[in-house]
Amino acid sequence: MQWAHDILVIGGGIVGLTTAIRLREAGATVAVYDRGEFGREASWAGAGILPPGNPERAVTPIDRLRAIGAVEFPRISTQLRESTGIDNGYRVNGGIEYLFADDEYSLELWAHEGIRFERIDDDRVPGATAYHVPVMAQVRNPRHLRALIAEANRLGIGLFPNRGIEAWDRVDGHVAGIELADGSRVFADRFLVAAGPWSERLLGPLDCHLGVHPIRGQILLLNAGSDAGPTRIAGKRYLVPRGDGLVLVGSTEEPEAGFAKQTTSGGLADLREFANGLLPELTTATVAGAWAGLRPGSPDGLPFLGPVPGQDNVFVATGHGRAGVQLSPGTARFLADRMLGRPTAIPHDAFALDRKPTAPARPAFRS
Ligand SMILES: Cc1cc2nc3c(=O)[nH]c(=O)nc-3n(C[C@H](O)[C@H](O)[C@H](O)COP(=O)(O)OP(=O)(O)OC[C@H]3O[C@@H](n4cnc5c(N)ncnc54)[C@H](O)[C@@H]3O)c2cc1C
């Protein structure tokens, strides 16, 4: 059996779905294929931290991408609630950033963007200085994904779960379609690979080797019984209180785990120790759950957004690492503009697949 679409998106995580919606809103016919259920990988597992931002004043392309998300998330959340009836849990609960000496470069970037922050008297994290960032927000990932899926359905986007892409169908080197596990083929004008850390395998046959790899992150969910206040971030670790008594404690960074998605007793014990040390009242909190997800890492910490060199109808959106949720609205806008041949708000080369390797990115926020 064959179908034909303007655009076929491979991967129904937050990046694929948000971009599909943007493309559909612009008038394209779109289908999204996932080898499993939609939004059950990193996009489901993430903590949903959304730092503030101002796209007009953000200094670097990656900070502009994040700042677009900061501005768009409240609008998107309201729109999704009105059109689907699903509340994605977006709320501004404020944050406390515990900055070590190496992280203090952020202060200048925040000031340049006009982000509000204030040094506070809090010595809970030895060796770090605490800053209150009042406009730090959060979203509840599983709810947001449910809302995106409902919105995609409402807009008439073709959604095909449990249909993994196995191979490319090429005619004279030009990609014309994809092949599914059952051997059936699907044709489209343009393709978007948004398959998280699995993108690397899909792109190999197109002679595209980006170095995208899985970075496991574990999360421990505690039930504190009451709201534990603002989000607290210290280096790679954080506490994200949900407002209903639940507190997410994250996260490990384990590239060595490869594609193994299970939690480990050592990882969860570390997270518990971090939580108890930061907020001693959590010592009595009960464990409500634990899980792990695979972030799509890139060699320089920046996402890859744009066409595959030599294949002008195959585009890529992956490598968002720790920040794919906050970067999803900016990514969707950038990719939709590129795929539809419109001018982009951010220069193309910033996230190009054939960019020259540079020192690891130093974004204004690390979570
Ligand atoms: C523990 C943890 C905490 C995090 N916290 C935050 C946070 O606070 N804030 C933030 O902004 N980000 C956070 N992130 C990062 C964020 O979750 C990711 O960057 C983002 O979810 C990546 O989304 P994605 O759509 O690119 O990938 P994924 O969610 O991995 O989606 C890719 C999809 O592609 C599908 N797929 C793979 N291969 C194929 C194939 N061959 N055919 C069809 N489909 C295929 C998969 O099944 C999957 O559904 C966190 C991540 C983790 C793991």
pLDDT digits (tens, 9 = 90+) for 297-306: 999 999 999 9
Domain-located, residue 357: no
- Close Cβ partners of 264 (under 8 Å, ≥ 6 residues apart): 218
pLDDT tens profile 184-219: 999 999 999 999 999 999 999 999 999 999 999 999
Rounded percentage of the chain residues whose pLDDT exceeds 70: 99
pLDDT tens profile 57-114: 999 999 999 999 999 999 999 999 999 999 999 999 999 999 999 999 999 999 999 9
Helices (H) and strands (E) counted in the chain, each on its own, are 8, 19
Q: Mutation test of ligand 1: which of 72, 148, 199, 320 has the most ligand atoms closer than 8 Å to its C-beta? A: 320
Q: How sure is the predictor about 138, in pLDDT bands with cuts at 50, 70 and 90?
A: very high
Are 12 and 65 in the same domain? yes
Judged against a pLDDT cut of 80, whether residue 4 lies above it is answered with no
Q: d(Cα 275, Cα 240) in Å, to the nearest integer? A: 10
Q: Residue 304's closest CA among 365, 355, 360?
A: 355
Q: Are strands 91-92 and 137-138 parallel, antiparallel or unpaired?
A: antiparallel
Cβ atoms 231, 136 nearer than 8 A: yes
Are 208 and 231 in the same domain? no
Longest dimension (CA), the chain: 65
Judged against a pLDDT cut of 60, whether residue 2 lies above it is answered with no
Q: Is the CB of 64 under 6 A from ligand 1?
A: no
Which ligand 1 atom sits nearest the alpha carbon of residue 201?
41
Please state whether the predicted TM-score (pTM) of the whole model is above 0.85.
yes
pLDDT tens profile 27-44: 999 999 999 999 999 999
Average pLDDT over residues 276-304: 97
Are 23 and 78 in the same domain? yes
What's the mean per-residue pLDDT of the chain? 96
Q: Mutation test of ligand 1: which of 35, 238, 253 has the most ligand atoms closer than 8 Å to its C-beta? A: 35
Are 257 and 319 in the same domain? no
129's enclosing H/E stretch is: strand 129-133
Q: Is the CB of 367 under 6 A from ligand 1?
A: yes
Find residue 205's DSSP bridge partners. none
Are 13 and 61 in the same domain? yes
Give the pLDDT confidence score for residue 1 in this predicted structure: 44
Q: Is 124 exposed, middle or buried (0-12, 13-18, 19+ CB in 10 A)?
A: middle
Main-chain phi, psi angles of 343, to 5 degrees: -65, 145
Q: Report the CATH number that the domain containing residue 347 is assigned in CATH.
A: 3.50.50.60
Residue whose token pair is 């993994």 = 164
Domain limits for position 54: 4-86+141-212+299-351
265's enclosing H/E stretch is: helix 265-278
Are 55 and 8 in the same domain? yes
Q: How many domains does the chain have?
A: 2
Residue nearest to atom 35 of ligand 1 (CA): 11
142's enclosing H/E stretch is: helix 141-154
Are 247 and 283 in the same domain? yes
